[in-house]
Homo-oligomer: A and B are copies of this chain.
């Protein structure tokens, strides 16, 4: 390789700043490929490189090369400007950061290093890494002529796909993490430290925990009513039905408002589908119509054709398939019960559980395949931004999960019409389902970690616990030592970290931790719970109590999982909960129908007006349901999506920038 990976001898000799991302190469990667990749990572921008700083870990037996990636101070600031990161300036205004106005963004006593959070820095390094895009001349990967690249593809993503790269992950900051943990999962009754969560884990994770907290708080109202209902007559059920409409609608609308407030203070409110493309977005390189930058271009209509002509039918087919699997399970159960009755076999007691168990297993397998399918389809649709990608992926998954989780309840409620069975089913699902989840999420990984690995890694593990510190804090302490021994070894032209650098140990340890796959599973849990609580709340109003109990545990468990059990997730910028908002709204609308239906079917209510015919009962259902749907729609229209102050603040920024544009053209 012609160019030296690190630009100058000076830089190579200087202290290596904190590692933000660790890249692990495959053990079998060819040296030419490796050097080409490293060259891309460190190379000049003009040559298609990312201008990042790298250090290699000392060679370990049976492991591929591991690189620690960081960037220079000025690089961070430059990319922050390019990515239009929004920061609060001295006047309290949230606006796009620019290097030239650096001073405006530094509040009194604030150092320039404190301006960008570690989540920001990780985001920047990752963005640069993922945006190393193939140039025209990079039509194939050196050393692997079978792997073809085309202009504009994200090289790192493709190498991960081909398994040339094993793993790309950020490192934890132990000091900050411990501070965060104390305020968060260790404080049982404190408010969640949302701002710290955001600074450490990024916006997506912070938004999830804000949602979880807000939802749990809002659940206290139905919980109280659910408990009261225990002591009151069952005639209060119509009241619950109407109350739930208001509660669900207002909860979701207020959440939307809260989201826009958060997005405004986080500077993500202006995110659109025309923003910076995500790394896997591919297309012919061209001039972006909005920014005038060189970016991959892919016509929107092709995405739409793929979405509506291919993905949509496939998803619908899968949903129908899942529905028939459910029907088959019910049919098998019925068959078994009737067989049992006919033959009077006592021994087949356990056999009756077979269809349920089989069904659960099938759903589990279907789910894992469907998840891959959905991800692949969404990838193939080639959405431009990460938010769009997430939204379309979540939509596909939620539709399928809806069939798996709720349709059987609909079947019991409206086809079999067995309210006792429905109630039991709900109770079992709410309690068992949530217990299993907690076990899976928090307890199981802990057990595996403490018992499974204790034997094999006893020695190694002890040394880790003995140190208890690493990453950034160590880096600061070691700074002076490192300065005295600048002669880092150069292997393959890449400077090596010192043997006793704690980051090596940390990178290895965290590389083996579980990967946090984004907030999808966490939202899904809440979504399913929301459905259980509200879809059939008139049958089982106490459900909200279980939900609150679960959520209080969930907050701590999820926080613990994130801080202790998982690799540090990549920070992701979001402005709202995306497709989940619509999913919750859809369940809200459906809950009106189901509850009205249950109400008009309930024998207690029918006893009140025995003179009404069946037709009149159904008409009563129709009228009640339409009125409630109407009220919901009106509430939806009447509550503005953004609070007044956000609207004014946005209008002010808009006004100012328009004025600036006018002035600029004059000059």
Q: Which residues of A contact B (CB under 8 A)?
A: 84, 95-96, 98, 100-101, 104, 270, 272-274, 289-291, 300, 582, 593, 614-615, 618-619, 621-622, 626, 637, 644, 647-648, 651-658, 660-666
Contact = CB atoms under 8 A, between A and B. Distances in A.
Contact of A664 (B614, B621, B652, B660): B660
Contacts of A626: 593
A662 B98 contact: yes
A644 B272 CA distance: 12
Contact of A290 (B582, B621, B648): B648
Nearest to A664: B660
A581 to B, nearest CB: 12
A289 B661 contact: no
A585 to B, nearest CB: 10
A662 B97 CA distance: 9
Contacts of A652: 289-290
Contact of A614 (B289, B615, B658, B662): B615
Contacts of A98: 662, 665-666
Contact of A663 (B593, B658, B660, B666): B660
Contacts of A655: 290-291
Nearest to A617: B615
A664 B665 contact: no
Given A618-B619, A651-B290, A96 B663 contact: no
Contact of A656 (B614, B618, B653, B661): B661
Q: In this complex, which of A270, A291, A615, A661 has the most chain B Cβ atoms within 10 angstroms of its Cβ?
A: A661
Lowest 7 A-B CB distances belong to which pairs? A657-B657, A657-B661, A660-B660, A660-B664, A660-B661, A618-B618, A290-B651
Nearest to A89: B665
Interface of A is mostly: helix
Contacts of A272: 647, 651
A619 to B, nearest CB: 6
Contacts of A622: 618, 621-622
Contacts of A101: 662, 665-666
A273 B644 CA distance: 11
Contacts of A100: 662, 666
24 contacts: A95-B661, A98-B662, A98-B665, A98-B666, A101-B666, A104-B665, A272-B647, A272-B651, A289-B652, A290-B652, A290-B655, A614-B614, A614-B615, A615-B615, A618-B619, A618-B622, A621-B622, A622-B622, A653-B661, A657-B657, A657-B660, A657-B661, A660-B661, A660-B664
Q: In this complex, which of A95, A272, A274, A657 has the most chain B Cβ atoms within 10 angstroms of its Cβ?
A: A657
A610 to B, nearest CB: 16
B300 A644 contact: yes
A661 B637 CA distance: 34
Nearest to A662: B98
Contacts of A657: 654, 657-658, 660-661
A111 B206 CA distance: 57
A652 B292 CA distance: 9
A288 to B, nearest CB: 9
Contacts of A619: 618
A664 B662 contact: no
Contacts of A648: 274, 289-290
Contacts of A658: 84, 96, 657
A595 to B, nearest CB: 15
Contacts of A663: 660, 664
Nearest to A95: B661
Contacts of A647: 272-274
A98 to B, nearest CB: 5
Contacts of A289: 648, 652
A272 B272 CA distance: 20
Contacts of A291: 655
A277 to B, nearest CB: 14
Nearest to A663: B664
Nearest to A665: B101
